[in-house]
A and B are shown apart, each in its own frame.
Chain A
Amino acid sequence: MQDRMGKDVMTTLVVAGGLIWLLPQLVSTYTLTVLIIYGMLGFSLGLIWGFGGILCFGQAAFFGLGAYTYAIAAINIGESTLPMLIAILVPAIAALLLGAMMFYGRLTDVYLGVITLVVTLILFKFINSTAGPQFVIGTARLGGFNGIPGFQTLNVPGDPDAYIWGDAYYYVCAVMMVLVYLLVSALLRSSFGRIAVGIRENETRMSLMGYDVAARKTILFAIGAAIAGLAGALFANWGEIVTPGLFSLGQSAEIIIWCIVGGLGTRFGPILGAAGLAYLKFALGQQSLIDNTLITGLILVLFVLFLPKGLVPAISSLWKVSFARRSPSRVHQARRMRNRGRANG
């Protein structure tokens, strides 16, 4: 167990290190930074949906909440360290409250989707209608549909004048992503993570075994929201402006598509799906022949029809099949690996 854990951490570090070094040679760090941020956002939904079975249509709400919280706190405080922490805490607390309401109310499936969707809509409408000067938090005006520009962006902790931007900011985001990935991996290996997967598989059974399903789902939901909030805060720093568009339904729907395309129930799938599709959208945005939402829609349909499990599970099972064929004695092991695959991602 210990051994496997060490191997997993090493693999993560080596692969991540390689990618962080390699990718800037192919794509500009400015674009890469936002791809990583989207990757983290996709990862947050991948955690609660893929491992906890909570389909949240409002992950964008926590993303936007993180971004707005950062912007407002940064204007009021003037240094970025504390605002970053608050931007993680506020979405997490919001999710705790919302989650407790939903899960203790025994809401499931479609009702959960409806409620999270409506919460996102409410936030979107509310933020959009805050253009007037009366909407102020501390010294920060909410700005309605114009958003909030001109806040203090990320600085070296303790030194407000030492801004972190450009290439350096890319590395900060990449390291954050790796850290979050490792933390979530540890969480999934822990009893809490294994129990969460059990709850995804069968809620009734888990509660009949004595687990407080509602409490555990609420906590997992809040962890997902905290990660989305962090992604939001990083996004605010990248864009140097926050706008109500962060809360839009389009954004929420996109996150779900990222997870489906990348592969639910895996750790890397949603990150790959998010970064890949966001890059595609960016590339398609540079031409005017075809509308890029059309392409995104087409990709979703094709995946649901032909690769319903997503990219990463498809690739890994393909790899395992060819791996097993070469040495028949490993067939049994490969089957064991596959069985373990869903739990470990």
Chain B
Amino acid sequence: MAEVVLETQALTMRFGGVVASDNVNFKLRARELRCLIGPNGAGKSTFFKCVTGLLTPTEGQVFMRGQETTGWMPHQIASLGVGIKTQTPNVMDNLSVFENIWLAARRFHSVDEAKHKAEAVIERLALNSIARSDLGNLAHGERQRVELGLVAVGDPWLVLLDEPAAGMSAEDVERMTEIIHELTKTAAVVIVEHDMQFIRSIAQTVTVFHQGAVLMEDHVDKVMSDETVRNVYLGKKAG
């Protein structure tokens, strides 16, 4: 069995009286692709933010490659070699595509190496034609793709993506799927998503969240045909 790269133990996050993340035990192995699904407000994004350091969990621990990272700052977690993409596109709007990707590469490489790395990633993601354009002038799908480039250029061993397919055209989603598959050759990937279509096309193992807790964790086909999961998605009471 491959090494465990991400593990949470009894992770709990409370906002006042609301328990957004409830006693989550989660394990992810190297080069695994895992989707986190669940209806709105199920606690997927809160869990994601606790893992990436954007929030500090109220209780419980987070481990990455065996090292405890609970309460670390996002930049410390990213420095370990973890690539993170947030829900809303987080890019540098007034800088060019090249400059954006170069900045991401520079964190782990020297000036010249970063230039080569950035050029390679631009080539790989087919961004050549827009490499000199400012991010602010690009279409939503292109911005999402560039943000994936920012993540990929750091050669991460763990990639955390929050709703990468949100608001994208079918063609863009297809391209995104390819990129993600390529990432899984070297990294474990966690995708938070509620677009079932996308999940069906990409997922192997799926973790279902409901009311902050893990409802079930199984192969995508089993999850999709599960009565409880269907009820949760349709807003019925979970049996």
Contact = CB atoms under 8 A, between A and B. Distances in A.
Nearest to A342: B94
Nearest to A198: B103
B94 A201 contact: yes
Sort chain A's interface into a size bin.
Answer: 20 to 34
B73 interface: yes
A211 B107 contact: yes
A197 B95 contact: yes
B79 A210 contact: yes
Interface string B49-70: 0001000000000000000000
A195 B90 contact: no
Interface in B84-104: 84-86, 90-96, 99-100, 102-104
A134 interface: no
A202 B84 contact: no
Contacts, number: 73
A210 B95 contact: no
Contacts of A209: 75, 78, 103-104, 107, 150, 154
Nearest to A215: B75
B27 interface: no
A209 B74 CA distance: 8
The prevalent SS among residues of B at the interface is mixed
Sort chain B's interface into a size bin.
Answer: 20 to 34
A343 B95 contact: yes
Contacts of A212: 73, 75
Given A207-B75, A208-B86, A210-B78, A201 B104 contact: no
Nearest to B79: A210
A206 B107 CA distance: 10
A210 B132 contact: no
Contacts of A213: 75
A194 interface: yes
A208 B159 CA distance: 12
Interface of A: 191, 194-195, 197-198, 201-202, 204-213, 335-336, 339-340, 342-343
Q: 3 closest pairs, A vs B, by CB?
A: A201-B92, A210-B78, A210-B79
11 contacts: A194-B106, A197-B92, A197-B95, A198-B92, A198-B99, A204-B74, A205-B91, A207-B78, A208-B52, A208-B75, A209-B78
